[in-house]
């Protein structure tokens, strides 16, 4: 048996009904129709973030090392056993309230603002196209807090950590407001009627964890392919082998293919992307009886946003008849996939 997973990130958008019809109904589904005719639709519950949802697909969430740790692996940051990581985001605060969480800053502006905060606090920072990763050498208990898109219109006091062990981090965030409010970069932004980047928010805590060899757990080789690098940290953590040989499918091996919608494009492009996937990609990996297929349509159109725990769609092809219609634990679906 061959085992093939298609993770279609953001493609749940195609199933949202507008004016009585979904985008999925408009899409031309050559090749995919063969899988629908031989498959079974169902639902599975995913977590709030992309990385955690697919971590729980393979393992228990109690071992989740945190989004920022997986991002550190993705960007190949040097990691030591005592390191604690955070994702950072500059937001706009006014009158002790978060007004805007999407601030358009270039890498140099981010660097200048972070250097200003770092003068009074000890941490390392790394700037990438979409991410700011901060590294501390202070042991803290594992904790989860909201992503920036979930704190808009909240008071600063309500987004600070309640635990006493996080007082130092709370102090750093409050100090960032004092430091950045009158910074020249923000004065210029306000003069241009743009929101100031005057508060540094910490989220997505991660702590060092030993990597897991997933193939030793599931007793099958697993290969991964994606045209983007968004989940490279998770792939690195599980010691999954990346491959470019996507059409030479070997027996008793798992192949995990990732496809992402771009949140900056619109519905017509999303439909076109699905049609390309269905017509071109599935044309080279056709339906066959000696393979088990799993298509997952999830909501994660932006990996830097937190979503409600949501029910995603799956299409299972050539699975056992004991398959349920809904899985609250996605790992149980994966167990059915490889049994």
pLDDT tens digits for 6-43? 999 999 999 988 777 899 999 999 899 999 999 999 99
Q: What is the pLDDT of residue 135?
A: 94
Q: What is the pLDDT of residue 337?
A: 95
In the chain the first and final C-alpha atoms are separated, in Å, by 10
Cα–Cα distance measured from residue 138 to residue 203, given in angstroms and rounded to the nearest whole number: 16
Q: What is the pLDDT of residue 245?
A: 77
Q: What is the pLDDT of residue 224?
A: 96
What is the average pLDDT value for the chain, to the nearest integer? 93
| Distances, alpha carbon 241 to alpha carbons 214, 222, 225, 254, in Å | 10, 7, 9, 11
Tens of pLDDT, residues 56-105? 999 888 889 999 999 999 999 999 988 999 999 999 999 999 999 999 99
pTM: 0.93
Tell me the chain's radius of gyration from C-alpha atoms: 22
Looking at the chain, the domain(s) classified CATH 3.40.720.10 span 2-64+210-338
With the CA atoms of 158, 159, 164 and 170 taken in that order, what torsion angle do they form, in degrees rounded to the nearest 10?
Answer: -120
Place of tokens 């989004």: 67
Q: What is the pLDDT of residue 286?
A: 87
CA atoms within 13 A on the CB side of 107: 8
User: For 125, phi and psi rounded to 5 degrees?
Assistant: -135, 155
| 307-312 contacts at long range (C-beta below 8 A, 24 or more positions apart) | 307/48, 307/49, 308/48, 309/45, 309/46, 309/47, 309/48, 310/12, 310/45, 310/46, 311/43, 311/44, 311/45, 311/46, 312/12, 312/43, 312/44, 312/45, 312/46
Domain spanning 2-64+210-338: CATH 3.40.720.10: yes
Residues of the chain with pLDDT under 50: none
Cα–Cα distance measured from residue 67 to residue 237, given in angstroms and rounded to the nearest whole number: 12
């Amino acid at each position: 048996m061959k085992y093939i997973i298609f993770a279609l990130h953001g493609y749940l958008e195609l199933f949202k009904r507008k004016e009585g019809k979904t985008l999925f109904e408009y899409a031309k589904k050559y090749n995919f129709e063969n899988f629908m005719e031989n498959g079974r639709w169902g639902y599975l519950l995913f977590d709030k973030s992309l990385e955690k949802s697919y971590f729980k697909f393979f393992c228990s969430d109690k071992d989740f090392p945190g989004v920022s740790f997986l991002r550190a692996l993705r960007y190949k940051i040097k990691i030591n056993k005592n390191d604690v990581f955070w994702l950072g985001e500059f937001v706009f605060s006014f009158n002790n309230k978060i007004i805007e969480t999407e601030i358009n800053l270039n890498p140099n502006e981010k660097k200048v603002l972070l250097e200003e905060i770092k003068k009074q606090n000890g941490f390392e920072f790394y700037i990438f196209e979409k991410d700011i990763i901060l590294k501390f050498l202070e042991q803290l208990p594992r904790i989860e807090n909201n992503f920036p898109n979930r704190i808009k219109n909240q008071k600063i006091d309500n987004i600070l950590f309640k635990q006493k062990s996080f007082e130092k981090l709370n102090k750093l965030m409050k100090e960032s407001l004092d430091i950045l409010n009158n910074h020249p970069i923000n004065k210029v932004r306000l003069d241009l009627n743009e929101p100031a980047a005057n508060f540094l928010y910490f989220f997505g805590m991660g702590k060092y964890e030993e990597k897991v060899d997933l193939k030793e757990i599931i007793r099958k080789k697993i290969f991964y392919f994606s045209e983007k690098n968004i989940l490279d940290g998770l792939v690195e953590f599980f010691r999954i082998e990346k491959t470019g040989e996507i059409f030479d499918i070997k027996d008793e091996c798992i192949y995990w293919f990732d496809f992402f919608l771009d949140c900056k494009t619109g519905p017509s492009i999303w439909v076109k992307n699905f049609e390309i996937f269905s017509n071109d990609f599935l044309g080279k990996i056709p339906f066959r009886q000696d393979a088990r297929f799993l298509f997952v349509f999830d909501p994660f159109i932006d990996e830097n946003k937190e979503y409600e725990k949501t029910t995603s769609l799956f299409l299972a092809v050539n699975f056992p008849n004991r398959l349920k219609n809904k899985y609250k634990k996605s790992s149980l679906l994966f167990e059915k996939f490889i049994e």
